[in-house]
Structure 1
Amino acid sequence: MLKEERHQYILAEIRKNNKVLSSELSQRLNVSEDTVRRDLRELSDLGSIRRVHGGAVKHQNEINLEEHSEVSSYIPFSYEDREVYSKAKKEIIAEKAISMLNDDFVILIDGGTTNLELVKKLPKDFKGTIITNCLPIASSLVGHRFVDVYFLGGKILPNALVTVGYSVMNELKEIKADVCFLGTRSLDTSRGITDIDREEVEVKNAMSKAANKVVSVATSDKLNTAQPFLCVSVDKVNVLITELDTNEPILKPFKDLGMEII
């Protein structure tokens, strides 16, 4: 059984029984308990489940995405897999995001594969400054001769390929950018942008405070979902960019809060 199939099976069992045991999954899937624990860790890192001793349970903040989206509940774990997941939607978002940029802007760009698509679509003649804590984004900007690229160094989170920690936070205190593009795992109208990793959340929050305008880039399956840790409160998100037409009903509650919808 492929990893994606195991993940789907685990999620189905948790939806049905509200919990799973590692030992039982090992027998049913005919894999080692180490493999099961790795699967549970990956799903937990995505915010799909909550790991507990001996297994996992349904995430307390889980919201049924089927009420809001037609996409599959499975989201790839590895950075490489996420690059191709919903790629067409991310390309639409990237095109919209590019329309916000002017030459000589100072731009903060958080991690995430949607932001990576944004950078890939950046015109080669764009002139400006880009500051990022994401390794793939910094690397992809090497060919832009008119862009000054600053990489925020720190401890690297392997699953997200972003840097976190004191050195990143300290550098951000001295920056005031024109705009900040935040990769978004979850966004709802009651809390705002939320995520699953405490260290990454701290950096996202610091980035938002270091910019005049905060932009959430999010495929529509991320809307009306929530994770444990708050990145940016909903009143601090100035712009929401999705792949949807701006008149889609799911976007109205965000528009009513005063967000600009692109």
Structure 2
Amino acid sequence: MLTPQRKKHILELLAAQGQVLSKPLSETFQVSEDTIRRDLRELAAEGLLQRVHGGALPASAAIATFAERKNLALSCKQRIARKAAELIMPGQVVLIDGGTTTGELVKCLPLTLRITVVTHSPGIALGLIEHPTIDVILLGGRLYKHSVVTLGATTLEALAKVQADLCFLGATGVHHEAGLTTGDYEESCFKRAMVARAAETVVLASSEKINSASPWAIGDISLVNTLVVSSDTDAALLTPFEAQGINVIRG
């Protein structure tokens, strides 16, 4: 079998099974594991999959530019946002990560809701200007233009003073084994720090993020208390999360 044909079959298996392992692939195609690893490296370089130890997972589709991601699965994000907004109680301190789904979340907050929002996203902060009873604390730092958030030592120093009730966290990959992942190293570090500053963590995951992975680890899936997903997400994909004690809410 020629290399392009083998790669095509690998991608077909990945789509069907949700993950592929190097050793079984080498046996299936009767080639060495080194050959399979080379195939996976080349497919990963093309953005067609995400390599993990021993094999590969689907690459997250949620790693495009911010402008492109705004309209990706928009109706799904809106449904998730409406359901996630119901988790917020009056009087809470709420950490809200930057992102397109959290951008939809703030649109769903009632004008009478009295909470404090802490965010490193200028967009999230601006989205709350018309909410008279929501106090907004914007964490300063260097603007990371790809995700339109602030990052850096100054941002981390300010975050260390926060004791939040809830953290609404964004991730580009949500997988029951690979955990939470994202496409940028600095963002992965800050997201992990956000989780440490909140009593509970809620992850908002549109369908393209479930069972996929990105290059940089935020942390183990055990960091998540609640996972809010679209109601049309395949139930089989959610069972492993529920088995680990994660509260899965369908929106």
TM bucket normalised to smaller: 0.7 to 0.9
Q: Which residue among 171, 174, 180 is the counterpart of 1:184?
A: 171
State how far apart, in whole Å, the 1-side matches of 2:73 and 2:126 are. Answer: 22
- Residue equivalent to 1:36: none
State the secondary structure of the residue aligned to 1:205: helix
Shift of 1:248: 1.8
Supply the AA of the counterpart residue of 1:222. Answer: K
| CA spacing shift, 1:50–1:252, aligned 2, 3 Å | closer
- Residue equivalent to 1:165: 152
1:209 maps to 2:227: no
1:63 maps to 2:57: yes
Shift of 1:75: 5.3
State the secondary structure of the residue aligned to 2:176: coil
Q: Is the 8 A contact 1:76 1:85 kept in 2?
A: no
Question: How many residue pairs are counted as aligned between the two chains?
Answer: 210
User: Aligned ranges for residues 2-17 of structure 1 at < 5 Å?
Assistant: none
Q: Which residue among 96, 107, 117 is the counterpart of 2:104?
A: 117
Q: Which residue among 127, 141, 154 is the counterpart of 1:154?
A: 141
State how far apart, in whole Å, the 1-side matches of 2:160 and 2:149 are. Answer: 18
In structure 2, stretches of 5+ residues that fail to align are 11-42
State the secondary structure of the residue aligned to 2:150: strand
Shift of 1:56: 8.0
State the secondary structure of the residue aligned to 1:108: strand
1:248 maps to 2:239: no
Shift of 1:16: 5.0
1:233 maps to 2:220: yes
Q: Is the 8 A contact 1:204 1:232 kept in 2?
A: no
- Residue equivalent to 1:103: 90
Q: Is the 8 A contact 2:61 2:209 kept in 1?
A: no
Range that drifts further, 79-88 or 238-247: 238-247
State how far apart, in whole Å, the 2-side matches of 1:179 and 1:144 are. Answer: 19
State how far apart, in whole Å, the 2-side matches of 1:253 and 1:222 are. Answer: 15
- Residue equivalent to 2:18: none
TM-score (ref. length: structure 2):
0.76
Range that drifts further, 228-237 or 201-210: 228-237
TM-score (ref. length: structure 1):
0.73
Shift of 1:254: 0.2
Q: Is the 8 A contact 2:101 2:204 kept in 1?
A: yes
Q: Which residue among 71, 81, 84 is the counterpart of 2:68?
A: 81
Provide, for residues 38-90 of structure 1, a one-character-per-residue CA deviation record: whole Å limited to 9, x for no partner: xxxxxxxxxxx755xxx88864245247xxxxxxx865723222112111000
